[in-house]
Amino acid sequence: MNATVGAAIDRAKSQGRAALIGYLPVGFPTVAASVEAAAALIEGGCDIVELGLPYSDPVMDGPVIAQAVTAALAGGVRVDDTFRAVRELSPLGAPLLVMTYYNPVLRRGVERFAGQLAEAGGAGLITPDLIPDEADEWLAASDQHGLDRVFLVAPSSSDERLALTAKACRGFTYATSTMGVTGVRSQLADSARVLVERTRAAGAQRVCVGVGVSNPQQAATVAGFADGVIVGSAFVKLLVAAPNAAAARRDLSGLAGELAAATRG
């Protein structure tokens, strides 16, 4: 049985903290190096890892992540490389969510994609451009293969939309802290706290916050009201800046450790 996201978040909650969820794209700077980088996140304290499947039209990605994804695509990364990364990382024990736009799933075939992800040891998918109303095939495939499914809500989401999304999610509901693309931000909007409260009121069992969380202070703030803290651009920024693989592993593990400590605050 693959490690489940919900169990990891519940375990963190039983320890009096929020879960730490780290994101990195597969294939940057190479597939092997991206696997090593993701392993560093787990070693540093990430409870769950999001592995980004590079896509040519990443409408939600900010400039830091887009730079890494573009380089990965130029290097020839493919969908099968994501399954390879999942397979190599799954023995480390942290649940692995693939974050992907829906078109690559459709092109592979939803049932086939789900089966290959489950076989590799993946926990499920985060699909930022897919809404539950249009996800019948994915809902069925994820049920068939026991995969978690994470949909996004935003401050602009209506109460009806929040309820529909919360009901469709398994693992957690992804609350975007602000409108717009991913990226490091100096401050997090109060709308994040309000959105978490509204999403819980709409029936969500677990709500994790991403888009803009970049430092321990922000992580501690989000951990005070959410079930999980999602960090992406801050990790990718370190990976982009690292002069070599050893430095990347050290820096990524170090930041993950600082953020994990902050979630206990």
- Model confidence over 216-265: pLDDT tens digits? 999 999 999 999 999 999 999 999 999 999 999 999 999 999 999 999 96
On the question of pLDDT at 211 being above 80, the answer is no
On the question of pLDDT at 144 being above 70, the answer is yes
164-192: average pLDDT: 74
> Token pair of 245, please?
């693989």
Q: Which of 10, 43, 47, 50 is catalytic?
A: 50
Asked if 233 and 64 touch (Cβ cutoff 8 Å), the reply is yes
pLDDT-derived band at 60 (thresholds 50, 70, 90) equals: low
For CA atoms 195, 196, 201, 206, the dihedral sign is positive
Half-sphere exposure of 11 (CA within 13 A, CB side): 12
For the ranges 49-58, 94-103, 175-184, the maximum mean pLDDT occurs at 94-103
88 is catalytic: no
On the question of pLDDT at 111 being above 60, the answer is yes
87-104: average pLDDT: 97
Q: Which of 47, 61, 81, 251 is catalytic?
A: 61
Q: List the one residue out of 139, 14, 145, 105 whose CA is nearest residue 6.
A: 14
Sequence-ordered list of residues with C-beta below 8 angstroms from that of 261, at least 6 positions apart, any chain:
45, 216
On the question of pLDDT at 179 being above 50, the answer is no
61 is catalytic: yes
Give pLDDT, residue 186: 42
81-87: average pLDDT: 98
For the chain, list the domains and their CATH numbers: 5-263 (3.20.20.70)
Task: Please report, in angstroms and rounded to a whole number, the separation of the first and last CA atoms in the chain.
Answer: 32
How far lies 205's CA from each of 163, 171, 228, in Å? 11, 9, 12
